[in-house]
Amino acid sequence: MIRQPMTAKARKSGAVVMALLSYCVCTHAQQVCSSSIPLTRPDSRYETVVGASPAGSEVRDKVTGLIWQRCAIGMVWSTTNSTCAPTPPATSAQKFKWTDALEVARTTPASPAAGGRPWRLPNHAELYSLPERACYGPALNTTYFVNDPAGWFWSSSPHRGSVSMAWIVNTFNGEDYVNNKDYTFFVRLVR
């Protein structure tokens, strides 16, 4: 994980970048972390799941007990390169409408390491537990979530104020929001 101290100029610049790119997907951005904020998602919080296929493709959060796919849907864990790589013929992670994201979760085969427990779309609170609060560009633990698309991800939580809206979380800067279910965003599954 690359950690660079944030100067006043970098904080100001970072705030502008975060504001301008809140809807942007920056797949190869260089992560910036504040030296004055302790990491909220350090390496010690996670461990790879034994028995996952491919090996190393799942991560357990030791605090929440949740098991996450390391790669967004449309990418697969490469044991050779220890990174997420697009699943050919795709060139990046896939985006889905909310109902399609729920269907992808429902139809994704259970992990051999799960003992038959199916994958599912995380709820808002679960998805919001992933962002690293001390960093942005991406706001994730980049040791365990490698080459991840930094952008908006769907949760399974509909917005209680509107049946046409659902909660999303941005892995570029860690913010959450509600958006129309007909928009397309990334998907990461949990169990």
Domain residues for the domain of 79 are 8-180
How many folded domains does the chain comprise? 1
Q: pLDDT tens digit string along 140-174?
A: 999 999 998 999 999 999 999 999 999 999 999 99
25 in a domain, yes or no?
yes
Residue-level pLDDT at 19: 40
Region 181-186 average pLDDT: 98
53 domain residue, yes or no: yes
191: in domain: no
Residue 147 inside a domain? The answer is yes
Answer yes or no: is 189 within a domain. Answer: no
Judge whether 104 lies within some domain. Answer: yes
What is the pTM assigned to this prediction? 0.84
Euclidean distance between CA atoms 58 and 69, whole angstroms: 5
The CA distance from 176 to 72, in Å, is 18
How large is the C-alpha radius of gyration of the chain?
16
